[in-house]
Amino acid sequence: MNAEDQHLDRKSLRVVTGRTADWAALAADCVCFANAAGGRLLIGVEDDADNPPPGQRVEPGLLDSLRKRIGERTVNVQAQASLRTADNGGQYLELVVARAAGVASTSDGRYYMRVGDVCRPVLGDDILALLNDRPIVPWETMTGPGEPLSGMDEAKAGELLRGLRESDRVKSSVKEQSNGELLRHYGLMDAGRLTHLGVLLVGTAAARARLGSAPVVQAIKYDDAGQKIAKWSWADYALSPVELVDAVWREVPDFHESYELPDGLQRQRLPAYDSRVIRELLVNALVHRPYTQRGDIFLNLHPDRLEIVNPGRLPFGVTPQTLLHANRRRNPRLALVFHDLKLMEAEGSGYDLMFAVQLSQGRAVPMPREGADSFSVTLGRRVLKPAVLRLMSEVDARHQLRQRERITFGLLLAAEEALTARELASRLELAGADDLPPWLGRLLDVGIVQSSGRTQGTRYFLAPGLLRDGGVTARTTLRRLEPHRLKALVEEDLRRYPGSSSGDINRRVGTEVAYRTLKRAIDELVSAGRVRQEGDGRWRRYWLRLD
């Protein structure tokens, strides 16, 4: 089943028929999609279904009514309605809503925004923020009176076009276009003039300076006392955003430092900062900043962390808590160029990559923060748990973890304790526990992650044997084990070592767990029928019931 998300919603056919028709709610849904990134409404398909009811029929005149009502009840909404027939023979209406060029609203002046799979009203000061974030004429497509094609830097244009033609992300039909056609295709040129985007990417330094909001990057290094000890600056507008990514990565020495970590009898060399994470953060700062607002990009390098500060707040509808799942393009044409040049991940997957890399290296996840007029991301430099590196590598090599599985595994590994379904959903920035299955993936099936409890009381934790063999679990953690996890440790131990005494179990699970506490857990498992015992006194042995 394709779950409802930012681009898909399902509605019962009752919403557009008879006395149950709710045209106002449907209009609000269309406005939500138009103010976000566009989307589809499947009318006649229930929320928990893939297809309409078998044999369902849609009245012939309903299609025209739908088009008319949406047109009457919305402003600046472009929606295309069509009648579809599913594989089971049932009919439904598909309403495709395009992303609005400006700001969409209902005809009675109400504003809405699609955030994840929820349609939210926009109220108060947020209306002004929405209007500012969604101008009628996008900044990228504007042309200045003084920027004819003579303001183009031929060398930059040639390098950019060469990169696009060599990219396997660009269709062959696009690569075959002439230079002028290719510039127009990517929105760099219009009616014989460079657009703002064109000036930004292929214009001369003087032309970029005249824009007033072309990016300036400053990297400042601090010591332990917070004093500035070094500075690098790219403030002459000589480089385009595409060129800035490589220049900043290449010229800041801290990005190329590394240190050694013990790995058995050998030592493993680890970079101070992973290039994939740094480049992704730089790309995000350059691609998603508001180019209608002045301000420098700051890279604040501290002994234990890097902080990247970008002018302007997040795009409207995106919060620091929804970055893992948000898909909002402030500068879509610039993002397309970066994507086709293979400088950024597919849309919406950049933060997934950064989370996965940081966790796999035993480091803290990126910490986003939104200020009054800025947005920053803090990246930890230090490895918090060296043992995680080897364990993550071994598990990944054995099971070929997907990116979401790697993130979930890393979060549970970092937690050291069981996480409730609600806690895990919160750390993954999900709306609730019902959204966990795609992130858990195969982790439960292959035994990497175990669970206890049901529904909202479900707790997830890493297989005890995995932690013990990997040498990751700290001794202090076992002292504060919750009863359900201690029982899970006992069950795992008996699964591996059937016929064990309570003393043997205690030694393998961890002697920091009081014997009386562990014996109580075993007795409760026996009473619950999950463990059987044979013998008395010092000869008593235990087996896990597998039936």
409-423 pLDDT, tens digit each: 888 877 766 788 888
pLDDT, position 474: 41
Q: State the pTM of this model.
A: 0.66
pLDDT, position 91: 92
Q: What is the mean pLDDT of residues 394-400?
A: 83
Is pLDDT at 473 greater than 60 in this prediction? no
> Are 101 and 76 a contacting pair, CB within 8 Å?
yes
Query: If DSSP codes are grouped into helix, strand and coil, which group holds residue 187?
Result: coil
CA angle 425, 426, 427 (to 5 degrees): 95
- CA 529 to chain centroid, in Å, comes to 43
d(CA 442, CA 330): 35
Percent of the residues in the chain that have a pLDDT greater than 90, as a whole number: 33
Is pLDDT at 20 greater than 90 in this prediction? no
d(CA 217, CA 209): 14
pLDDT, position 477: 46
Lowest mean pLDDT among 166-175, 257-266, 335-344: 257-266
d(CA 318, CA 329): 10
Q: What is the mean pLDDT of residues 167-181?
A: 93
3-class SS letters over 55-98: CCCCCCCHHHHHHHHHHHHEECCCEEEEEEECCCCCEEEEEEEC
Q: What is the mean pLDDT of residues 233-245?
A: 95
**Domains, the chain, ordered by start:** 8-133 (3.30.950.30), 139-211 (no CATH), 218-380 (3.30.565.60), 474-547 (1.10.10.10)
Tokens of 149: 């094609």
**Count, residues in the chain:** 547
Q: What is the mean pLDDT of residues 180-196?
A: 91
Residue 424 neighbours by CB distance under 10 Å: 23
Q: What is the mean pLDDT of residues 99-107?
A: 85
Torsional class of 462: left (φ above 0), alpha (ψ -120 to 50), beta (otherwise): beta
DSSP string, 294-328: ---EEEEEETTEEEEEEES-PPTT--GGGTTT---
483-495 pLDDT, tens digit each: 777 888 888 888 8
